Amino acid sequence: MATVIGIHGTGKYEYFQREGTAEAASAALGRVWSRWLGEGMAAAGRPGPPVTTGYYAHHLHRGTMQGPDDPGMLDAEAQELLISWVDLLRTRPQTPMGPRTARARGAADWVARKHGDAARRLVTTLSREMTAYLREPAGRRRIAAREAVAGAVRAAPGPVTVLAHSLGSVVAYEALWAHPELRVGHLVTLGSPLGMPGAVFERLVPAPRAGRGARPPGVTRWTNLADVGDLVAIPRTGLSGGFDGVDADHPDLVIGERDFHTARGYLSCPDVARLL
């Protein structure tokens, strides 16, 4: 049986706060992911393997509160990311008008009206953490997060399956490119923003060539999964349109009407379990 490694998304610094060390946070999150994946596997009639995690949230924490969903608390770069991201979700992008903070709050308000307060918190938190990660191509936070993920893969007995959720798919993608010696039998990206134009895609390391990214050299198989309503998984058509080497692309799953992006929603979904 393959060793399953989970690479988490945003909002997981709370595990570090509660547990006190990155190792303990990783173990605690692994137990939670194991339970969630077990639920999905059981519903699909399959045994659920234990999950270890590549934990990196403490490397991106900048000393700001993660709970509040006020875009006014974001720095300028994160506000711009939020505005451009929400413009990708709108049928008609908005003409830039007014102060940046007001535009960021207006974008988050639009998300709340369309998708609820939980979605507002999602776009605010992800904008903060995605900016912290992507700010500098060779920034210390980016490298540290990437190395934490690479270390988890390196320490795992093979064969290895990597389940990378949300921002974790960006960190995992770059970590596996930075370390081509690492072997992963199956990379599964869940609700991934890897292809998000402007905000993420053009800022990847290594940079896309001729407008296309590619499967990391040590990965044997790549499956991309996204809920049809996932606000983070942009473009809505999946990743194969922008990346070579995506073996299976399923951007039309339904994991839940209100649970369209959470790790729990993906891991506990029997349709996802059947595709692993």
Do 53 and 23 fall within a single domain? yes
Q: Which domain holds residue 56?
A: 9-61+138-157+269-276
For residue 164, tell me if it sits in a domain. no
What the block records as the tokens of 15 is: 């595990």
Q: How many CA atoms lie within 13 A of 115 on its CB side?
A: 23
Do 28 and 129 fall within a single domain? no
Say what the pLDDT of residue 9 is. Answer: 96
pLDDT for 126-145, tens place per residue? Answer: 999 999 999 999 999 999 99
For residue 78, tell me if it sits in a domain. yes
Do 144 and 126 fall within a single domain? no
Say what the pLDDT of residue 200 is. Answer: 96
Mean pLDDT, the chain, integer: 92
Q: Phi, psi at residue 231, to the nearest 5°?
A: -70, -20
Do 147 and 37 fall within a single domain? yes
The answer, yes or no, to whether residue 65 has pLDDT greater than 70, is no
Do 142 and 42 fall within a single domain? yes
For residue 96, tell me if it sits in a domain. yes
Per-residue pLDDT band for 66 (boundaries 50, 70, 90) equals very low
For residue 196, tell me if it sits in a domain. no
For residue 77, tell me if it sits in a domain. yes
Say what the pLDDT of residue 217 is. Answer: 97
> What is this structure's pTM?
0.94
3-state secondary structure string across the chain = CCEEEEECCCCCHHHHHHHCCHHHHHHHHHHHHHHHHHHHHHHCCCCCCCEEEECCHHHHCCCCCCCCCCHHHCCHHHHHHHHHHHHHHCCCCCCCCCCHHHHHHHHHHHHHHHHCHHHHHHHHHHHHHHHHHHCCCCCHHHHHHHHHHHHHHHHCCCCEEEEEECHHHHHHHHHHHHCCCCCEEEEEEECCCCCCCCCCHHHCCCCCECCEEECCCCEEEEEEEEECCCCCCCCCCCCCCCEECCCEEEEEECCCCCCCCCHHHHHCCHHHHHHC
How many domains are there within the chain? 2
For residue 235, tell me if it sits in a domain. no
Q: Phi, psi at residue 54, to the nearest 5°?
A: -95, 100
- Residue recorded with tokens 């990783």: 26
What is the percent of the chain where pLDDT is above 90? 72
Do 119 and 25 fall within a single domain? no
Do 77 and 23 fall within a single domain? no
Per-residue pLDDT band for 223 (boundaries 50, 70, 90) equals very high
Do 38 and 145 fall within a single domain? yes
Do 33 and 149 fall within a single domain? yes
For residue 31, tell me if it sits in a domain. yes
For residue 115, tell me if it sits in a domain. yes
Do 57 and 107 fall within a single domain? no
